[in-house]
Structure 1
Amino acid sequence: MKRMMGGLAAWVLAAGVAVAAESPGVQVQTLMESSASWDGRAYEAYPPGPPLLTVLRITIPPHSALPWHTHPIPNAAYVLSGELTVEKQGTGETRWLKQGDVLPEMVGEYHRGVTGDQGVVLIVFYAGSRGVPLSQQ
């Protein structure tokens, strides 16, 4: 039954996007679709419990380094303005992001964001459950 409900929800969402795209003047552009984080590691599962969606607007000033942290849940960041370098602690791997880029974030891997001469404004979408933290240090 749970699988059937998930399939039904996906169909309803797809139908809603299709209807919106057929409306005059409406444009739909997929910014990101991923089942893995930016380092290629596949997402395993969502946390148990009723879903809780959270969207944050995060502003990071120039010449800042966020603390090393992990996420226990899948999330994605959209760069509204500015630039950001994301670093993976274990390997030193980096990814540079600019306005308009989207990043599927890592789950269970220590990483951080670092700004240079420009700050950055991010819109971050988290798919979790009530009581599950968005990030941990």
Structure 2
Amino acid sequence: MRTIMFFVGFLLAGPLPALANPELQTETLLRSTTAWDGTPYTAYPPGQPELTVLKIVVPSHTTLAWHRHPSPNAGYILSGKLIVEKKKGGVQRVLTQGQVLPELVGALHRGRTGSSPAELIVFYAGAEGVPLTQP
């Protein structure tokens, strides 16, 4: 498990000069200090850090409930199309396969799909005991 965690961390951070392998290819998919609407991330929740990774499939013609996240997270679209929107101001963004979304923290938002399902992987950087999503 430790080897896998190191490998994942290594890929996300990019190759370290001392460990660089000419056969290893990396691509930064996301590096952001702000959510998708430009709101800056200010802090992680206090407490024991906890990472959570979810694979989520949103069926076609589905609108998710309005919700918020108490900690930073990012979603990678494996397939389909997901439209995300903020409740306040109606700002929205359309995501398709291969795109990454730095999620909103503390702001009400929701996602919806069109004629096909959306499959995504979401990475949460929170704290033990803190919910991933709140109504």
Q: What TM-score do the two structures reach when normalised by structure 2?
A: 0.87
Runs ≥4 residues deviating over 6 A: none
**Distance across 1 between alignment mates of 2:34 and 2:76:** 16
Q: 1:29 to 1:21 in 2, by over 3 A?
A: farther
Q: How many correspondences in the alignment?
A: 126
Superposed CA offset, 1:40-97 (max 9, x none): 0000100111110000000001000000000000000000111000010011111000
SS in 2 for 1:128: strand
Residue in structure 1 matched with residue 45 of structure 2 by the alignment: 47
Residue in structure 1 matched with residue 132 of structure 2 by the alignment: 134
**Distance across 2 between alignment mates of 1:59 and 1:123:** 9
Per-residue deviation at 1:22?
Answer: 2.5
Alignment match of 1:114 (pick from 104, 112, 115): 112
Structure 2 regions of 5+ residues with no counterpart? 1-8
Residue 69 (structure 1) aligned with residue 67 (structure 2):
yes
Seq. identity, %: 55
Residue in structure 2 matched with residue 18 of structure 1 by the alignment: 16
Q: What TM-score do the two structures reach when normalised by structure 1?
A: 0.86
CA RMSD across the alignment: 2.1
More helix by share: 1
**Distance across 2 between alignment mates of 1:16 and 1:91:** 36
